[in-house]
Amino acid sequence: MDRNVNDPFAAERQRLIDEVADDFRRTLKWTGRSQPSAQVLNAMLRVPRHAFVPPDQQVSAYVNRPLAIGHGQTISQPYIVALMTDLLDLRGGETVLEIGTGSGYQAAVLAEIAGLVHTVEFVKELSQTAQAALARVGYRNINFRVADGRAGWPEAAPYPAIMVTAAAETVPDSLVAQLAPGGRMILPVGKTNGPQNLIRVRRDETGRIVRDTILSVAFVPLVGGD
């Protein structure tokens, strides 16, 4: 797909990606990443964010901040999308699990790099809107499910990479269980209006779980009781 040819938003997207790169430099101390990988930069340059933003927010589609997508939910800030994708350390071609389809924008960024994306969304209407937007842009390597994503997508487990885009109060055990040896999961953890941190959970080759805290963040909650 050569979407950037004749794309009136290509210049705006380049400017946004430059801002995201500035944010990476500013947050190096916490994230350990001075710039997004070439793979992540290319993915962000290719995905037409305006296609995932509601009509009344089009003017802000390429602003580096989260936007409302209805049902009290948000499309994450582009810097956070880039950072979380980068922290997954994808090689390309693998199968990735995303919890919280939302607008479908993050799924698109993942689908640019991964071979296959499984994405789970709790709100049926959001999943349907995202499926339509992703189909319009031309993504074929994304599978959708409307369900409580805290249970993951066990049939296709284990995954080398899992991303959760809503904050849980604790790391869901069933998601950790679906992480392959050597796999990485990136997720926000914390109370709804309290402090939240972006956490990386890794399963090493021997099966041992290693957890580290990356950055303080603010996400909508992962719904459902414990």
Q: How far apart are CA 194 and CA 61, in angstroms?
A: 27
Q: Are 219 and 226 in contact (CB under 8 A)?
A: no
* 73 lies in the binding site for ligand SAH (CB under 6 A): yes
Tokens representing residue 151 in the block:
């249970």
Residues 6+ positions from 173 with CB-CB distance below 8 Å:
none
Among 36, 48, 78, 102, binds ligand SAH (CB under 6 A): 102
* Stretch (H or E) spanning 43: helix 38-46
Tokens representing residue 163 in the block:
């991303």
Stretch that binds ligand SAH, among 12-20, 33-41, 83-91, 96-104 (CB under 6 A): 96-104
Among 16, 113, 134, 222, binds ligand SAH (CB under 6 A): 222
* Residue 139 DSSP SS3: coil
* 120 lies in the binding site for ligand SAH (CB under 6 A): yes
Closer to ligand SAH by Cβ: residue 41 or 205: 41
Closer to ligand SAH by Cβ: residue 194 or 207: 194
Binding residues for ligand SAH, rule: CB under 6 A, are 73-76, 99-100, 102-103, 105-106, 120-123, 126, 148-150, 165-166, 220, 222-224
**What residues are labeled active site?**
76
